[in-house]
Amino acid sequence: MTSPGIRKIIHVDMDAFYASVEQRDNPHLRGRPVAVGYGAKRGVVAAASYEAREYGVRSAMPSTTALRKCPPLVFVAPRFDVYRAISRQIREIFADYTDLIEPLSLDEAYLDVTENRRGLPTATATATEIRARIKAETGLNASAGVSYNKFLAKLASDHRKPNGQFVVPPGMGEAFVENLPVGRFHGVGPVTAEKMNGLGIHTGADLRRQTVTFLQTHFGKSGPWYHAIAHGEDHRPVVPDRPRKSSGSETTFLEDLTEPAAVEQGVLSMADEVWGWCEKAQAFGRTVTVKIKYGDFRQATRSRTLAAPVVAQDTLRTVAVDLVRTVYPLPTGVRLLGVTVSSFEASGPPAQLEFGF
């Protein structure tokens, strides 16, 4: 990976990050199936250890389903302050090698090490050293994918998980993706994958055989992207500290809310959590969105875009309550409420990101 013009991209992905932190800090959890989250009736799994994954437990799975699949599952309450602190520690390691760090979440990031500060000759050697330092300094395992673009590097990081590393060298991207199912491709969600399967597109090779025109007809503006990745092409740069586009908070209640007063109190609580982040980050947006999920899983959203950014907590609270009142009378009980602020002003104070947010 040393030819002029060829980038050296690493995708680092921490292995079962939240659950691994809990197992690191509590020896009694090691070797046991662990879920980070709450085991209550309305709980959801935020993360699962590899021992839990062997039973079929996955992130975002309802806690009741997870317990049915894995009766010995141990639930541990999340400690996001701890995860953020470790995430910052990992990012400090990255910064010893490059300024070009693009966080995707608390537990993964892209690095462009084409010009690396340590003078290491290859991206493979750089990724190996970074993973070794993460292990030595945090006690946690990381997997890495190494390639000449972001799409291939992210695919490669999954190829040897956990605690592995895989390289897709220049000229091998098309061959690497041809036998992979399209559902593995970043940017192809379950609905799109199902649609592709219905069109006879099951693998990268099937996707590569389609013309741009065909893909645009069936997938709109995403068509050219699908055509490019089927050929192992991705020209997106690694963008350091992308500005955060929104800040939101939501919660699922143990029992459905049926009284407007209780619904409004829930909205106010979510608005206060969002405001806490906005005030700390000095990031203020113009659009307020309220999300309502009913007991029968129907969902409604209400949004309002203001002429100026929301710079006062009382304004956010007022707008959020006004929005939720537009769904009255409630058709049934409410199981989940969320509040999000978006449309941050480019000219205003920037959102401050850690390694993730």
For 171-228, the pLDDT digits (tens) are 999 999 999 999 999 889 889 999 999 999 999 999 999 999 999 999 999 999 999 9
pLDDT of residue 59: 87
- The answer on pLDDT for 56 being more than 80 is yes
Whether 108 is a known active-site residue: answer: yes
Residue 346: which pLDDT band, with cuts at 50, 70 and 90? low
pLDDT of residue 323: 97
Annotated binding-site ranges:
13, 107
Q: What are the structural domains, with CATH classification, of the chain?
A: 9-15+81-167 (3.30.70.270), 17-78 (3.40.1170.60), 172-231 (1.10.150.20), 246-344 (3.30.1490.100)
Q: Please give the average per-residue pLDDT across 267-273, as a whole number.
A: 92
- The answer on pLDDT for 357 being more than 70 is no
**More confident position, 281 or 237:** 237
- Catalytic option among 51, 102, 108, 264: 108
Q: Please give the average per-residue pLDDT across 158-173, as a whole number.
A: 95
Annotated binding-site ranges for Mg(2+):
13, 107
- Please, which residues bridge with residue 101 across strands? 111
Residue 40: which pLDDT band, with cuts at 50, 70 and 90? confident
pLDDT of residue 355: 33
